[in-house]
Structure 1
Amino acid sequence: MPVPVTLHGRAVRLEPLAEHHVEALAAAAAEDRGSYAFTPVPSGIEATEQYVADALAAQAAGRAVPFATVRTADGRVVGSTRFCELDYWQGPVIWPPAPRGPLGSPLTAIPDAAEIGGTWLSARAQGTGINTEAKLLMLRHAFETWGVRRVSLRADARNVRSRAAIEGLGAVLEGVHRAHTRGLDGVVRGTAFYSVLDEEWPRVREQLRRRVGERRGTTRTRTLVPA
């Protein structure tokens, strides 16, 4: 699995998710849960403990790199995000194509493709620019440190605000998988899939840099982060 890393920005710091984040994560999730209709967010200490344990198990298996999202202004944990669906393309071609783990040591493996997901923010952190800068940090790490060929994102097709937020990052809509899975409400839902390719990264990077810079001179507006 890729080595856990801390990603530093001006407004946000993404640090490797750990058990010591449980209490702060539970507090962040409890502020106001009104925006979590389409987003899996733990509720309470016990659920948050399981949430962190599951994320760390996925990390140990080489399937994810989870982060705690920390606001730099006061050091407060305000949510979580992660790299997931890590895919490795080294070695002989396999058919039919399917995600696979690294051929070498999982401790030093570098993925060829990844997804950004599991993103949520506390109510007061939404609309502050933290999500935009966090995505800039993660995309930069994926494309410029790992050298991936693509980064994917997805959202419940009904989640208009999350889809707008993803599109605002500069990601391209690949399509909607109809009747793809069940949503948190138990209803069979479609899933909107987006991606950024390595050749698109310079354009997306400049767009995000402008948005982060412009955000420092604006007032707060509420927006829902991608699910």
Structure 2
Amino acid sequence: MAEIIVLEGRHVLLQPLKHSHIKGLIEAANENPSIFKWTYVPQDEPSMTKYVDRAIECRDLGIAYPFVIVGKKDNQIKGTTRYWNIEKWEWPSGHPLDRAAKLDVCEIGHTWLRENAIRTAINTETKLLLLTNLFENWNALRVCFRTDVRNKRSQAAIERIGGKFEGILRADRMAIDYTIRDSCKYSILFSEWPHVKENLLKLLQ
């Protein structure tokens, strides 16, 4: 995860998260904080600095890769997302799946967008870029998504792009409101990627 990864589309640019992005992220987070009902989004500089510090630490450990999301039309920071829970399995030498893969499985999460980017091409193309890189460049076998069981909008968005519902993880983590959160888990497999990609391209059009 030490390499510099930049993913670029027509509408959005995904760049490795840096401390220099903190000011823009705070501005994005404060455009309308009320929309972040189910997702932790820091609002002030100390909290955002801690958030970025932790994301970069996870990248250095090889278990995550965080991006800042930048709109190409206005060069404005729209939010952030990351690959996380990255796993590279140890296949026996000569095994059919002992391939030139960056990773085997991971999750896409810690995703949030400022209000002016919600329900725009920004989110759809961000997912297209992340998934294309995972399946076509890194040869991933599976990617997962998790969301609060109460977050119906997020569940609908994951299903819209082709995520398959796997079940509910009970008492999965502490929720943003300091309750015990149940999470809905979704996945996309490598074999499903061509259909998912076709669907995403249609949605962008």
Output the CA distance in 1 between the equivalents of 2:136 and 2:80. Answer: 22
Matched, 1:81 2:73: no
TM-score normalised by the chain length of structure 2: 0.93
| 2:6 alignment counterpart | 6
Do the aligned residues in 2 keep the contact of 1:152 with 1:194 (CA within 8 Å)?
yes
**Identity over the aligned pairs, expressed in percent?**
40
Q: 1:117-196 to 2 correspondence within 5 Å?
A: 117-196=109-188
| Aligned-partner SS, 1:40 | coil
Deviation per CA, 1:110-137: give whole Å up to 9, x if none.
1111110000001111111211110000
| 1:220 alignment counterpart | none
Letter in structure 2 aligned against 1:78: K
Displacement after TM superposition at 1:91 (Å): 4.2
Letter in structure 1 aligned against 2:145: L
Letter in structure 2 aligned against 1:180: D
| 1:28 alignment counterpart | 28
Deviation per CA, 1:73-107: give whole Å up to 9, x if none.
01111100000000111245xxxxxxxxxxxxxxx
Output the CA distance in 2 between the equivalents of 1:58 and 1:109. Answer: 20
Do the aligned residues in 1 keep the contact of 2:101 with 2:140 (CA within 8 Å)?
no
State the 4+ residue runs in structure 1 displaced beyond 2 angstroms: 1-4, 178-182
Output the CA distance in 1 between the equivalents of 2:169 and 2:63. Answer: 22
Output the CA distance in 1 between the equivalents of 2:134 and 2:172. Answer: 27
Do the aligned residues in 1 keep the contact of 2:101 with 2:139 (CA within 8 Å)?
no
Output the CA distance in 2 between the equivalents of 1:42 and 1:120. Answer: 11
Output the CA distance in 1 between the equivalents of 2:118 and 2:8. Answer: 19
Deviation per CA, 1:35-90: give whole Å up to 9, x if none.
11110111111211111111100000001000000000011111000000001112
Deviation per CA, 1:129-158: give whole Å up to 9, x if none.
211110000000000000000011110011
Letter in structure 1 aligned against 2:42: P
| Aligned-partner SS, 1:74 | coil
| Aligned-partner SS, 1:200 | helix
Q: Which one scores higher on RCO, CA 8 angstroms, separation ≥ 6?
A: 1
Output the CA distance in 1 between the equivalents of 2:58 and 2:174. Answer: 21
| 2:96 alignment counterpart | none
Do the aligned residues in 1 keep the contact of 2:84 with 2:106 (CA within 8 Å)?
yes
Do the aligned residues in 2 keep the contact of 1:2 with 1:109 (CA within 8 Å)?
no
TM-score normalised by the chain length of structure 1: 0.84
Do the aligned residues in 1 keep the contact of 2:2 with 2:60 (CA within 8 Å)?
no
Matched, 1:51 2:51: yes
Give the unaligned 5+ runs of structure 1: 93-107, 214-227
Q: Number of paired residues?
A: 198
Structure 1 pair 116–2 and aligned structure 2 pair: CA distance change class (3 A): farther
| 1:39 alignment counterpart | 39
